[in-house]
Chain A
């Protein structure tokens, strides 16, 4: 067993020692007492002489008793404990993966060792686990070396936006079990499951930052917000590879959002909007690229009566080119008669039913199947004529029904999957129905997404990227290494390539305004009580405490016996 103290602050009580000595010294400034029995005092101890304080102090038994009592009291307050040799504990430290934690790396580096050292002292053996709240990330450290844990925590970089801590905390609590401690390291007050202690290392920051951007052609519009509770002044400029624009000053009221706009520098595909620095750096730089979407080639195949509809349709689709031949087209727009029933599929197409005029309306309400293409669309109000339909085939995937009739369906395998519009659009109000136009747009966009081609766009950090690559080609790679399915965690430019072929050039910017707000950040911890609780669990003091307390009581009595006066009111009062 080794001795430890549950409450070392109790030793502050030792400060009473100099105070006590001071009191005894100050007593030299004695009160004057007139006596009638001076000659009796003359026969007692010699007169204490000025300047012999030390000797007088040493000879005073009550002083020694009082000094001993103070030492004992300090000892009791400090809570001496005998740590059991076989005591062990498991401490699970969970780091908050929110990017806001990145602003407090120095504070974390200071607070973590101090608090964990305290925990080290309350058990003979400590098993450490270091996790972060991103459940997708592996354990950062597991072992018995505190230094290794601290090194792992120092190297760690938070990367998530606002997210739910509960799953990881529950895992950590299960890991710590009954005899362990779970410490959640974050930067603000937050609700945690019972049994989880909080170590918060944050403090309010006067943060201003970019919160969003849109680029339309050459024009960009960006939002900048003051997240602090006070008015803030910043300056901003645009940086390119070849230089920077002049600084522009900007004053924002508390919580104010300001929209800034401008033109992308001519001849440059990349630039960066830079706000002057503050405590949180992630939202101070906003990288931008000149957007260059993938273009979709359309081929139109129909008689004259369809020209008006097809022109209207192609005009409403963004970033498409109308090709003259069908060979190089990504999508064919085609009007067909109901017969022959089975058409051989030739690539991706949107097939419109071309039927003789009819006067009979189709009966029943249109009903949409559950499909990403129809999600959230409302088909009420669609009016179609009763005409001969395309004949149904096995494998058709109906998207919209009207009565028994599949109004719109998908046909064909993956490479030839085509959209069939099974009513004559010219005889309906479909081209004025938003659901129908959106559905066609979605279909074209799905084909655009699958197209293997270069594009350039602006994304948010850590955003999921869907980059279509050649199935037979090598795997996709992110510039600077890393996962090509997500944008980088930190703001910056990046490139996704397949082999040598560039598929995506992007700029990732930070846009999680909730993480930029540090008004609620604070420093506190709930570990104080926990460490003494752990110390109590891992050590024994039960036999020591009454002994010390009784010794203190005995010192009290001895002191009073030494300073006490005899009983009063006893007749005679003469000793001997």
Chain B
């Protein structure tokens, strides 16, 4: 299960779209460049994969005497 620790960085992608339009000479729509920036944004969002562990030992103890 994937979730993002810092999803707010997704806004950076919008900013990059603006940059791509405003500075066309950067040619950010080229596949390699777009991939690089996409990975960067993804990394900033810090994806986390949660795996279920093998389990843990649960110990419960209760007092045997009421006065304890």
Contacts and interface: CB of A to CB of B under 8 A. Distances in A.
Contacts of A561: 23, 25-26
Interface in B1-25: 6, 9, 19, 23-25
B40 A565 contact: no
Chain A interface mostly: helix
B55 A194 contact: yes
Nearest to B9: A546
A543 B3 CA distance: 20
Contact of A560 (B9, B27, B56, B57): B27
A567 B25 contact: yes
B37 A553 contact: yes
Contacts of A15: none
B44 A549 contact: yes
Q: Interface residues of B toward A: which range?
A: 20 to 34
B36 A556 contact: yes
Contacts of B37: 553, 556
Contacts of A567: 24-25
A276 B40 CA distance: 62
Nearest to A195: B56
17 contacts: A194-B53, A194-B55, A194-B56, A195-B56, A546-B9, A549-B40, A550-B44, A553-B37, A556-B37, A556-B40, A557-B19, A557-B26, A560-B27, A561-B25, A561-B26, A564-B25, A567-B25
A556 B33 contact: yes
A193 B59 CA distance: 12
A381 interface: no
A195 B55 CA distance: 10
A560 B6 CA distance: 27
B25 A565 contact: yes
A561 B44 CA distance: 23
A567 B53 CA distance: 52
Contacts of B33: 556, 560
Nearest to A556: B36
Nearest to B20: A557
Nearest to B26: A560
A552 interface: yes
B19 to A, nearest CB: 7
The 4 nearest A-B residue pairs measured at CB? A567-B24, A194-B56, A564-B25, A560-B26
A305 B55 CA distance: 73
B9 to A, nearest CB: 8
A193 B23 CA distance: 58
Nearest to B28: A560
A566 interface: yes
Contact of A552 (B40, B54, B57): B40
Nearest to A194: B56
B7 to A, nearest CB: 13
B57 A193 contact: yes
A570 to B, nearest CB: 9
Contacts of B24: 567
Nearest to A170: B57
Contacts of B19: 557
Nearest to B30: A560
Contacts of A552: 40
A155 B43 CA distance: 48
B34 to A, nearest CB: 11
A20 to B, nearest CB: 15
B26 A564 contact: yes
A550 to B, nearest CB: 8
